[in-house]
Structure 1
Amino acid sequence: MNDLQRLKEMGITVWDVRRPECYPGVSPQPVSLPDDCKLLLVCESKPTEQEAWLFSKVLASMKLSVEQALYLPPQAVNLLGEHQLEWCWFAGSQEAEIEGVKRLISPSLSALDNDQLAKKQLWQQIKQYES
């Protein structure tokens, strides 16, 4: 079994070589998303249980389910391959341009949880796309 198969079995589908100069033959693989993925959450770390609860509430307000959303670390955004995304939410991470996708920008989910003004601003961003 090779290293890529081991990573996949461990559930690690997105990875980055920290020192690419040590691996001249390794080129980054494009990140492929399932066709039913409509929202991409871009943040530094996978949401905790409390953050996931908040995330699911925001998704529900957008008429999306948790199954239609995926998490991606910021360093993997530039590896994004073909997709059917409608939304990209940058939560506490540097934003990137993804053509044809509605973009949301907010503080991290943990900061958002305790900041009513930031929640209001996020809601206003979501609503602006509805008009």
Structure 2
Amino acid sequence: MASISSSIQSQYLHEMGIDQWELIHPERLTGYKVDLEVLPEGCKLLLVSDEKPEGKLAEMFERVVKSIKLDLSQALYIPSNQFASIESDTADWVWFAGCSSPIKLDAKVLQSPLLSEIDGNNQHRRDLWQQICAYD
């Protein structure tokens, strides 16, 4: 079953009435070694959020990326439940939008509401901008 994609495998398990669980913090299990996924080379900003930047939100995300003097190709989005499986030490910036950092990071950390809550809200945009400027 190793060659079957995980979504098809999940569907088979569901059809058989087998519950499937995903550990949020596998590192807390004694003796368990987590194989972390490495960020792509050139990734300088990691957006961790349960809201994927699409459409108008993607445009706003790109403006923020450019304000940090990065190119969109240097940014990567991941859902918050996948953060524990990523080797995040290589990113210069980690932006938690609508969630918080579960660990202390060496990167420049941004903390904000969801992108949809920032868009059109001057106070949230100002707060985010102040965090960015604090690292200059």
TM-score by length of structure 1 reads 0.77
Distance 1:31 1:86 in 2: 17
Q: Rg larger in 1 or in 2?
A: 2
State the 1:30 CA deviation. 1.9
State the 1:103 CA deviation. 0.3
Alignment match, 2:112: 106
**More divergent stretch after superposition (47-56 vs 98-107):** 98-107
What amino acid sits opposite 1:109 in the alignment?
Answer: L
Gaps in structure 1 of 5+ consecutive residues: 8-16, 22-26
State the 1:72 CA deviation. 0.8
Alignment match, 1:127: 133
State the 1:3 CA deviation. 2.2
Retained in 2: the 8 A contact 1:35–1:83? no
Sequence identity, in percent? Answer: 34
What amino acid sits opposite 2:127 in the alignment?
Answer: Q
1:60-75 matches, cutoff 5 A: 60-75=66-81
C-alpha root-mean-square deviation of aligned residues, in Å? 2.6
**More divergent stretch after superposition (78-87 vs 110-119):** 78-87
Q: Secondary structure at the match of 1:3?
A: coil
How many residues are paired up?
116
From 57, 61, 69, the equivalent of 1:55 is 61
1:25-36 matches, cutoff 5 A: 29-36=35-42
Q: Does 1:2 pair with 2:18?
A: no
State the 1:128 CA deviation. 0.5
Retained in 1: the 8 A contact 2:51–2:115? no
State the 1:48 CA deviation. 1.6
Gaps in structure 2 of 5+ consecutive residues: 9-18, 24-32
